[in-house]
Each structure stands twice: as structure tokens, then as C-alpha cells.
Amino acid sequence: MGRSDMTEFRNPDAVARMRADFARQGAMSAMGITVADVAPGRVVLEMPFNADFSQHHGFMHAGVITSGMDSACGFAAFTLMEAEAEVLTVEFKCNFMAPAKGAQFRFEGEVVKSGRTLTFTEGRAVALDGDAAVTVATMTATMMAVRGLKP
């Protein structure tokens, strides 16, 4: 994945705000997705396998994988936004490379380029099973800084 050259948060309260916004997402809570790591321009989320979110072959559903990557990318972008900004997804593209089969899933989002309004990100979904780690999907996504939006 590409890596932002940003090494500092633009907003000193970015991590606290990101965690608070993440905690208000009912979808993430319902799917059991949690925040594992936050750094400037990078967010890692985790989720245990849950058969309630599987598809008809028993793999994690593509919509769940996409949701995890979208949130990881969006919050990675958010960590580099100014204090008055909120984040919304503008567009994304996903590629699924392997069945989403694993005991746990990791969703990594990373900023490629951060601008005042648009931020370009890349994401990856990794299935974990014991010592095995398989990248099952990738994402490219554009995020938008929105001002004046109440959370």
C-alpha cells in the first residue's frame, strides 16, 4: 500500500475524535469491528469471524469486508483532517482476491495523499487464521472533508 508522508496529526484531538465517531457507528458495533491501531494517516480495525455475517458458502460476506475497509480508509483520512472537518466517502473500488475465510479479519486503511478537501486512500482486508495471513481484498477510496456537518 502507498504511505502518506504525514507523521503528525493536524488536529491534536484527532485520535479522541476518531474513536468517539467510530463508537457512534452502529454498523461497526453490530459487526463486532473494533479499533486496533491509530497513527497519522493510518487506521487498523479488527473483527472476529461471525457466521451471522457470512455468505452462502460460509465466507465473510463481501459487503462486510467492504464496510470494514471503507471505515478504515475513512478514519485514516480523518486523522489528517483539520479540527472542524468530518469525513464522508466520495467513492471506492474493491478487488476481491481470495475467499474471506479466517478466524479474524484485519482492515487496514492508509492515506496516499491528503488534501484540504479530498484525501486519497488505500485499504486492505486480511484474513487471519493461526499464523496464516491472507490478503482477501484491496480498496482504493476517495474521502471528502466536510465542514459544518454535525456528528
Domains and CATH numbers, the chain: 14-147 (3.10.129.10)
pLDDT digits (tens, 9 = 90+) for 10-56: 777 888 888 998 999 999 999 999 999 999 999 999 999 999 999 99
Strand blocks (E) in the chain:
34-39, 42-48, 85-96, 104-114, 118-129, 132-147
Angle, CA of 93, 98 and 102, to the nearest 5°: 110
- Provide the whole-model pTM: 0.92
pLDDT digits (tens, 9 = 90+) for 76-116: 999 999 988 999 999 999 999 999 999 999 999 999 999 99
Q: Please provide the size of the chain in residues.
A: 151
Residue identified by cell 460476506 is 61
